[in-house]
Amino acid sequence: MNLFISFLQKTIGQKIVVGLTGLGLCLFVLIHMLGNLLILSGPEAYNNYAYKLHDFPGLLLLEFGLFIFFIGHILLSILLQLKNKKAKGSISYQKEAQGIKKTNFIHKFILSQGILLLIFLVLHLWSFKFGTYYETELNGKKVRDIYLLVVENFQKPLYTFGYSFILLILFNHLLRGFPASFKTLGLSHPLYVSWIEKLAWFFSLIVTFGFLAPIWYIYIYL
């Protein structure tokens, strides 16, 4: 325990935890996205999945773990950001670098992105986990009709466009965070660093499209 606390006090230790939790959360969004794809195969499939998930005995433990990952990721990131801001000092440069030394767009506004994602997370939980409780019957059992709620929500332009916007931010966050996590963990090497970058693109695209597809399907066709 002492070891872990002392690890958490070191900047690189904190970075490593952010990276590890980040990769864990990547896994989570991947699974979440795969689950969402079930929306495309209709209400039964999706409600069944939701029901089974809810019935899963270890769910509470998993949710708790997920909660810890989120909290760890968010708190440490904010802590690091504060440190970084302090290191930077109060005066910023008058001009921004142009040409080859220009900062890649994906690295900008990282804190604002994180905060947006955090706000989204709260809203997201509020509107779905704790949203209207519709009921439906599945194989003779009464279960929550989460499908209905999803459809209801994503027929509203605000939801669909809002979610799409957030997904773009998530895309950026993944594209940037995924390879950075590897580098932070020291799992990068000249041999395969370019593959990690490629994998990051692949992963971020898959996840983003995986999330976009069902909501736009609902918005356009239902």
In angstroms, what is the minimal distance from the CB of 53 to other proteins? 35
In angstroms, what is the minimal distance from the CB of 191 to other proteins? 10
Is 92 or 139 the residue whose CB approaches other proteins more closely? 92
Cβ count near 26 (within 10 Å): 19
Q: Footprint of other proteins on this chain (CB under 8 A)?
A: 3, 6-7, 10-16, 80, 83-84, 86-89, 91-101, 103-104, 107, 110, 179-180, 182-190, 193
φ and ψ at residue 190, rounded to 5 degrees = -55, -30
In angstroms, what is the minimal distance from the CB of 29 to other proteins? 20
User: Can you point out the beta strands (E) in the chain?
Assistant: 135-138, 141-144
Is 153 or 184 the residue whose CB approaches other proteins more closely? 184
Is 88 or 142 the residue whose CB approaches other proteins more closely? 88
Is 10 or 54 the residue whose CB approaches other proteins more closely? 10
Give the Cα separation of 180 and 16 in Å (integer).
Answer: 10
In angstroms, what is the minimal distance from the CB of 84 to other proteins? 4
